[in-house]
Structure 1
């Protein structure tokens, strides 16, 4: 019998490279630095982005809820959105717990500093990927390379989110003010060679992201990937046991993990 679980993913490209799973490996190259000096990034937009990424990078532990909309363009040119919701708890440098629930997934993803564990509740199956290092960035990059999958807003979870976000940026501007879930935000837009992206940043002292949209320009129909954040907690009470995965009774380990056409994780179990 062939069984299948679908887990977190995002069939799109991240701003710093063309698409994969959880927070990014950071490479800010000399050519990227040259692009920033020569391009049309508004200084005020850069200042706002730096404030947000600095706020994120200085957090030792934090949690949030999220909603994801991932667009797929089918063979007739019609855009279809696949939506999912979940939560994330991060304890830097090397602990992560993410839940995701959607039409194809009811899953938990755990990183304990050594291995990433993906558990599919419906089928009571799990898969594990060893990390080459103890940090979230290293774990995420390993999963990206092995599966082609990404976590919701992975670039924002990086140890250096500014570098992860800006490595392909050629233009950037302030669009104006907007409200996301009733919260007043600054709306910024950036352009790169492969993708365009927008971010809505909460006004006030925290300067946290509330919405993040990526448009993949090289795909016909320019599909978008959208993450909405809610219920940010920058000082959560974190139970260390949350990051220690123990297979539930009867759970079966599965080795095969791949990305499917919708950007979700497909794990196949041949019995």
Structure 2
């Protein structure tokens, strides 16, 4: 049986921008002084609205994300896991996500009617019916199976998200070059979480990089992701269809019990 809670898709921190979106403010290098204390810089708030509006207006997405995520063991020790994720989407109802964790590779296919989770290493897959759009799919998979998809918050972010997550502090740091593109660097704080966000300068305010630090946990686990945005042309419909390779086995996907669903985020 495929247990979504232990699948690679269920990460310690989703590779996204919403609920735990947070950053880490530190001293700037060299003689450059740290910015003067300012609770909420209008520039830092405005860019979140601009990014949200732009993301919600995209019809096609294609990006690659490299991320490092800390996980806290039962004994309090922190270990880091690295992931390489590729995402292709045609909004509102087509999604393909491939996650690589060392030798392990898992892929999601969603065609607007059904989804498939394929574990290439274990040579099995699980499938099920799905809502008719990506937003519904993300909510349904989390509620029914405890699965959080990487990069899910890119689909949830909107112009009002900055107000909804309860930001206490928002700072503009400086402009930096990331992967050959000039990005504006911002730092934010909300209850229990600090976060940094780098956003492309220019007419396409896409996220370049995100760093999250959990301040509400003693170990202060950290999550970072760098986004590599590809040409956003439409993918063929076949990209979202799963054709089982020879020798793979279909297995049932375990649904959460009602008591387990109550604790899902």
Q: TM-score range by the shorter chain?
A: 0.7 to 0.9
Shift of 1:244: 1.6
Cα separation, 2, equivalents of 1:89 and 1:140? 15
Could you say which structure has the higher strand fraction? 1
User: Which residue of structure 2 lines up, in the alignment, with residue 176 of structure 1?
Assistant: 174
Verify the 8 A CA contact 2:188 2:196 in the aligned structure 1.
yes
Shift of 1:67: 0.7
Verify the 8 A CA contact 1:8 1:152 in the aligned structure 2.
yes
Cα separation, 1, equivalents of 2:95 and 2:183? 27
Cα separation, 2, equivalents of 1:67 and 1:15? 15
Shift of 1:164: 4.3
User: Which residue of structure 1 lines up, in the alignment, with residue 10 of structure 2?
Assistant: 9
Q: Secondary structure at the match of 1:41?
A: coil
Map 1:27-106 → 2, pairs under 5 A: 40-75=39-74, 77-103=76-102, 105-106=104-105
Shift of 1:205: 1.7
Higher-Rg member (1/2): 2
Which structure 2 residue ranges, 5 or more long, are not aligned?
Answer: 22-37, 257-265
Verify the 8 A CA contact 2:175 2:185 in the aligned structure 1.
yes
Map 1:125-204 → 2, pairs under 5 A: 125-131=124-130, 133-158=131-156, 160-164=157-161, 166-168=163-165, 169-204=167-202
Which structure 1 residue ranges, 5 or more long, are not aligned?
Answer: 20-38, 260-271
Cα separation, 2, equivalents of 1:188 and 1:228? 15
Q: Secondary structure at the match of 1:119?
A: strand
User: Which residue of structure 2 lines up, in the alignment, with residue 123 of structure 1?
Assistant: 122
Q: Which of residues 199, 206, 209 in structure 2 aligns to 1:208?
A: 206
Verify the 8 A CA contact 1:15 1:166 in the aligned structure 2.
no
Question: What is the root-mean-square deviation of aligned Cα atoms in Å?
Answer: 3.0
The normalised TM-score by structure 2 is: 0.78
Shift of 1:77: 4.2
Shift of 1:187: 1.0
Cα separation, 2, equivalents of 1:146 and 1:189? 34
Verify the 8 A CA contact 1:110 1:118 in the aligned structure 2.
yes
Work out the number of aligned pairs and report it. Answer: 237
